[in-house]
Amino acid sequence: MMVNPQEMFRPGDALLVVDVQNDFCPGGALPIEHGDEVVAALNPWIDAAQKRCIPIFLSRDWHPSGHPSFAANGGSWPVHCLQDTRGAALHSELLIPEGAEIVTKGTRFDQDQLSVFDQTGLSDKLRADGIRRLWVGGLALDVCVLASVLDGCREGFDVQLLLAGCRPVTAEGGREALEKMRQAGAEIVE
């Protein structure tokens, strides 16, 4: 089914764009194949959300050097999304409307925060703003998008996954992620 973003939003919705940062795109430190293609897929949603006065949240992975998610520090990833570097910046073609809120995560030294809901205060803020339904896309489908969608479902939000606006680190991981999201109650929007 082809969907028109303009027609999908209703009051009580919010748009959540996860980690569309240079380091997760081709040429970056932790490149996801075709990661940059999510920009063209998500911009119409961002544009529509702005026009419909739907709150927009853009998350960023924002690590200090020596972060525990880095292989050199006992984690599983190469050094990526170092605070204030070009690699950590949001993709330059991603629409960032005035009023969009940046959600920063991955700054803790004792643990990683893959989910945008992990100790960011986002769920309380959404509830306080009367948000019940979340449209989610971004990078990576099988890592931070997965963790965020599962948490969103757990927190009681109706989660709509924008599949065309996501890319996985691995194809197999992507398939498994979609299955887990479905089982958690998320709807996959093709």
- Which residue number, 13 or 19, has a Cβ lying nearer to ligand VGL? 19
Residue listed under structure tokens 């920009």: 39
Nearest Cα neighbor of 24 from 13, 12, 35, 40 is: 35
- Which residue number, 46 or 140, has a Cβ lying nearer to ligand VGL? 140
- Which residue number, 48 or 88, has a Cβ lying nearer to ligand VGL? 88
Q: How far is the CB of 172 from Zn ion (least distance, A)?
A: 20
Q: Which residues bind Zn ion (CB under 5 A)?
A: 61, 69, 106
Q: Which residues bind ligand VGL (CB under 6 A)?
A: 19, 30, 61, 69, 77, 139-140, 143-144
The token pair at 123 is 């769920």
Q: How far is the CB of 63 from ligand VGL (least distance, A)?
A: 8
The token pair at 161 is 């996954």
Nearest Cα neighbor of 82 from 93, 101, 66 is: 66
**What residues are annotated to the active site?**
19, 105, 144
Return d(Cα 99, Cα 80) in angstroms, integer. 27
